[in-house]
C-alpha cells in the first residue's frame, strides 16, 4: 500500500473529531427539546463522550498508522452506497409524512414493514456485492 494512503491517528485526532460531533449532538438535542419538549434527547451527547473516552484510552501516545478512505479498497463505493440508502430512507420517511401524515415520533404501522424490510435487504445486498468485489483485494493489502 502506498504510504500516501495512510494517516497517523493520534489522541488529539480523536479529540478534534469527537469534539465537533459532541457539539453537533448538543445543538441537536437542545433543538429537539426546544421544538418537541422531549427531555430524553438532551442525553444525545453521552454515547459520543463515552466513545471519545474509549478511543482516547485505546490509542497509543504516539498514535498509529491507518489507511485513509481512498487507501482501503472498496471503501469509497461502500460510503456512496450507504449514503444512497440513507437518502432513500429519508425520502421514504418524508413521503410517509406528506402522504400519510405519519410523524417521526408516531408508532410504526403495519404498512411500514415492507418499506423497512425492503430498505434493509437492499442495504445488505449492496454491501454483499461490494464485499464480494473488493473483499479479496482488501485482504491482500493487509
pLDDT at 12 over 60: yes
Q: CA geometry: angle at 62 spanning 56 and 65, to 5°?
A: 90
The residue that leads in pLDDT, 132 or 72, is 132
**pTM of structure:** 0.64
Distance CA 60, CA 12 (A): 11
Distance of CA 4 to the CA centre of its chain: 25
C-alpha cell at 125: 445486498
Question: Mean pLDDT, to the nearest integer, of 51-69?
Answer: 91
Radius of gyration over every alpha carbon of the chain, rounded to an integer in angstroms: 20
Is pLDDT at 75 greater than 50 in this prediction? yes
Amino acid at each position: 500500500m502506498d504510504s500516501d494512503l495512510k494517516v497517523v491517528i493520534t489522541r488529539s485526532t480523536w479529540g478534534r473529531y469527537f469534539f465537533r460531533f459532541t457539539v453537533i449532538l448538543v445543538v441537536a438535542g437542545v433543538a429537539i427539546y426546544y421544538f418537541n419538549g422531549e427531555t430524553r434527547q438532551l442525553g444525545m451527547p453521552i454515547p459520543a463522550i463515552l466513545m471519545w473516552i474509549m478511543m482516547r484510552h485505546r490509542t497509543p501516545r504516539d498514535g498509529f498508522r491507518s489507511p485513509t478512505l481512498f487507501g482501503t479498497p472498496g471503501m469509497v463505493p461502500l460510503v456512496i452506497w450507504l449514503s444512497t440508502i440513507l437518502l432513500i430512507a429519508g425520502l421514504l420517511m418524508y413521503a410517509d409524512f406528506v402522504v400519510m401524515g405519519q410523524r417521526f415520533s408516531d408508532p410504526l404501522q403495519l404498512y411500514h414493514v415492507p418499506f423497512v424490510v425492503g430498505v434493509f435487504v437492499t442495504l445488505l445486498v449492496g454491501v454483499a456485492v461490494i464485499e464480494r468485489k473488493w473483499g479479496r483485494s482488501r485482504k491482500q493489502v493487509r
